[in-house]
Structure 1
Amino acid sequence: MKGDADMKAARQAWRRLEPVHGMIYFVPEGRKRYAALGLNGRSGYFASRGAALGRASAELVIATFYNFHPDLVRKALPAAWDLATPEQVLAARYEAADEALRRAGIHELPELDTVLALARRAAEAACEHPQGRPLFAAHAALAWPDDPLLQLWHAQTLLREFRGDGHISTLVTEGIGPLDALVLHAASGEVPVDFLKLSRAWPEPEWAAAGERLRERGLLDGHTLSAEGKTLRQHIEARTDALALPAYSALGEEGCERLAELARPFGRAIVDAGLLTPA
């Protein structure tokens, strides 16, 4: 897989199945289980996603998660590890994923076995390329669950972090810092700016300064992307797609198209069950 058509097929396969993983950041099952460990609010998020790294420091999570305000992370870590071990947090995360996916009826979908086989093949191919992908590599070192439903969730988790690490390397290469990336994302209109400001916690003066910096670079026209900004974002997304190909090459273009088609009901079930609705 090398051409534009291959990258498009791989991206479609990832996007269609991504809700199976992404819902874990929104569902009440996660918040409930993290709270039972004493982890409330953002502590649950940073600890649960970072637990694969072990007793991760705030600085390690700041580096690997990339676009959260550092002070937000430091309020959660390393204090979270005084309340729960990484092993406990990981167990809670898998329990939450299992309960939420079952609430959506994912375990009853007829193509579960086929979707799992395709996603796992791609994830295992990604595991052959951990270099330069620290957050992915930490998750890749975790044991595969026994249950097929959780195997699917784990496979898509690996594919998400594999792609995410590649995306961060592209941002760094292009000189797009953490806040710059958020401002450009907001300027694209794909995500409400208020959601990004609230969830990433960058102060308004810093957000405004980043906007001015990007306007000086010619990447913003007011609060929207300039022509140059649109070109850069397209380049970043294309490069991210290319860096994700080592995983999806194992499926070939036909396999990616099949995964994308079979995964459609999975994403729809997640959305219909309200699993992607932010609290």
Structure 2
Amino acid sequence: MTTLDPVTAPAPATTTLDPTVAREAWRLAEPLHAMVYFAPEANERFEALGISPRAGYFASRGGAFGPVGPGPVTASFYNFHPRLVARYLPAVWELTDPAAVIQARLDAASAALTRGLGTETLRSDQVTEAATLIRRAAESAPAHLSGRPLYAAHTDLAWPEEPHLVLWHGQTLLREFRGDGHVAALLFAGLSGLESMVLHTASGEADERFLRTSRGWSQDEWTAAADSLRARGLLADDGLTDEGHTLRAHIEAHTDRLAAPAYEVLGVDGCQRLAELVRPLSRTLVKAGFLAGALPARSN
């Protein structure tokens, strides 16, 4: 029986679209979604429901599954310590319900986008066109539903009507579609959520203390994961080894290929047009500090 090398084995060829074109469209639109995780508007609305911001994060994103316990969220979010998730789920459902907390997140997104971009921009042809393109991509992705639990759960949520919220919701769907594929790539590479974060911080692209504490891991657990990666030849005292860099590059390439089918309906021209439309919007939010402290999107 042939054994596949997780570094060199290719991801399935599921699209004819250049994955780098799709990646650029996703990358430039991502701040329009991700800002909600750092917006004070979200914390205010979660607190109005009687729940903490951290509980609101797990409940609003994981609530697409329904009033679940920690299992599905720990599995699909991938890099959070199970004990951290279990601290909030299912207890949060004694205070609120999935519909309320999902609506709170949507309301927060609307308020934050209005604050960051202004009403005139949100009502512009630019936003309407971008929303139309991103909805086409998000609604084409169910053809590739298998193995994508977070995306599948979010497809059951109703689409909002306002163009800026269509844009936000569409990017939410595409983010989870890509994220599910990223988890598959990590699993194939034999990396746990914790190990993937250790490699990520060793690359110099993320802050170790922020990732470790925000995901609920102890220093001893982090150190043990680092020791395991050293034993595999992926990590050295001064950062990633050549093998570690190669593995990370292959994981990102596999993630790009697995995400690309959602954008095939747009083609190269549509992806490039979407990137052109959302670039100034995202740039405005980033320059205004809406993603202060953010990590690269769904970097597990």
Query: TM-score, structure 1 length as denominator?
Result: 0.96
Aligned to 2:233: 218
Q: Aligned-pair distance for 1:109?
A: 5.0
Q: Identity over aligned residues, as a percent? A: 53
User: Is 1:86 matched up with 2:98?
Assistant: yes
Aligned to 1:40: 52
Aligned to 1:66: 78
Where does 1:9-158 land on structure 2 (aligned, <5 Å)? Answer: 9-105=21-117, 107-108=122-123, 110-158=125-173
Cα RMSD of the aligned pairs, angstroms, is: 1.4
The one-letter amino acid paired with 1:64 is S
Q: Aligned-pair distance for 1:110?
A: 4.6
Q: Deviations over 1:75-126 (max 9, x none)?
A: 0100000000101101101100100011111515551111111111111111
Farther-moved stretch of structure 1 (248-257 vs 73-82): 248-257
The one-letter amino acid paired with 1:149 is H
Aligned to 1:228: 243
Q: Deviations over 1:137-159 (max 9, x none)?
A: 00011111111111110000000
Where does 1:186-265 land on structure 2 (aligned, <5 Å)? Answer: 186-265=201-280
SS in 2 for 1:111: helix
Alpha-carbon separation, structure 2, partners of 1:44 and 1:278: 18
Q: Which 4+ stretches in 1 moved above 6 angstroms?
A: none
Alpha-carbon separation, structure 2, partners of 1:109 and 1:230: 43
Gaps spanning 5+ residues in structure 1: where? none
SS in 2 for 1:268: helix
User: Is 1:163 matched up with 2:178?
Assistant: yes
Task: Say whether the 8 Å CA contact 1:17–1:156 is kept in structure 2.
Answer: yes
Task: Say whether the 8 Å CA contact 1:211–1:223 is kept in structure 2.
Answer: no
Gaps spanning 5+ residues in structure 2: where? 1-14, 295-300
Aligned to 2:7: none
Q: Aligned-pair distance for 1:257?
A: 1.6
Count of residues in Structure 1 that have an aligned counterpart in Structure 2: 277
Alpha-carbon separation, structure 2, partners of 1:71 and 1:265: 40
Alpha-carbon separation, structure 1, partners of 2:102 and 2:231: 43
Query: TM-score, structure 2 length as denominator?
Result: 0.89
Alpha-carbon separation, structure 2, partners of 1:109 and 1:209: 51
Farther-moved stretch of structure 1 (158-167 vs 127-136): 127-136
SS in 2 for 1:142: coil
SS in 2 for 1:230: helix
User: Is 1:2 matched up with 2:16?
Assistant: yes
The one-letter amino acid paired with 2:200 is H
Alpha-carbon separation, structure 2, partners of 1:237 and 1:248: 17
The one-letter amino acid paired with 2:16 is K
Alpha-carbon separation, structure 1, partners of 2:47 and 2:251: 37
Alpha-carbon separation, structure 2, partners of 1:188 and 1:252: 32
Q: Aligned-pair distance for 1:128?
A: 2.4
Task: Say whether the 8 Å CA contact 1:121–1:250 is kept in structure 2.
Answer: yes
Alpha-carbon separation, structure 2, partners of 1:178 and 1:201: 12
Task: Say whether the 8 Å CA contact 1:48–1:90 is kept in structure 2.
Answer: yes
